[in-house]
Amino acid sequence: MKTVNIALPKGRLGEKVLKMLDDAGFSCPETKENDRRLILESADGSVRYFWVKPSDVAIYVERGAADIGIAGKDILLEYSPDVYELLDLGIGVCRMAVAAKKDFRDRTDKTLRVATKFPHIATAYYEKKGRDIDIIKLNGSIELAPILDLSDVIVDIVETGTTLKENDLEPKETIVPISARLVANKASFKFKNEQVKRVMDALSKQCAEKR
Ligand code: PRP
């Protein structure tokens, strides 16, 4: 039997997908409390799960270290990995948005300072609008940037909007809706097609039931 290697994003989304796969019969082994193991293998050897930093899932899949994985559309748009996008899981739903202080007014005679973890998405968005920008690449706590006048706006993920609200910022424009996607390595899709499709169909069914 060919084992399907699945990269799961560490965190709530990954746990949800693991539970869905377990319910669909792709049993995962018992995990202990505070389990630090990064690899879990099903007793029947049909699947092996890896816990990966969410932004790294696409790299594991693109390079074939994992056959399939669960990645946010934000990561796929930002890094354009050479993988197949098989399924929109309809979970992990949020949006990529431009946000700023409430009283922010765009002065188009000046270069716009944009703080973000997603420089490619932000650049493509403003290029389309023909707006001159200066990208300030940060790795987290993006909301601080406009507050400290490090940037004029931010381009970031907005889910509930609470982080923006609690920092006196507000969403100004939506760039693109985001959700979790099932992605596959191109060679695995060919050579483990039957196994990959079984996982895909199972996830598709589970997601439809949960909607
Ligand atoms: C994301 C994003 C916002 C927050 C938005 O951060 O960067 O800070 O979630 O969620 P909300 O609209 O529900 O408040 P994440 O939790 O992924 O952490 P990170 O900044 O470390 O990536």
Atom 17 of ligand 1, nearest CA residue: 157
Contact 3, 47 (CB under 8 A): yes
pLDDT of residue 32: 67
Interval between CA 162 and ligand 1 midpoint (Å): 9
Beta-bridge partners for 136: 115
Ligand 1 pocket (Cβ < 6 Å) reads 140, 142, 156-163
Interval between CA 10 and ligand 1 midpoint (Å): 15
User: How confident is the model over 166-182, as a mean pLDDT?
Assistant: 97
SS3 at position 107: coil
User: How confident is the model over 122-150, as a mean pLDDT?
Assistant: 97
Burial class (CB in 10 A: 0-12, 13-18, 19+), 36: exposed
pLDDT of residue 33: 67
pLDDT (tens digit per residue) in 90-121: 999 999 999 999 999 998 899 999 999 999 99
pTM value is: 0.93
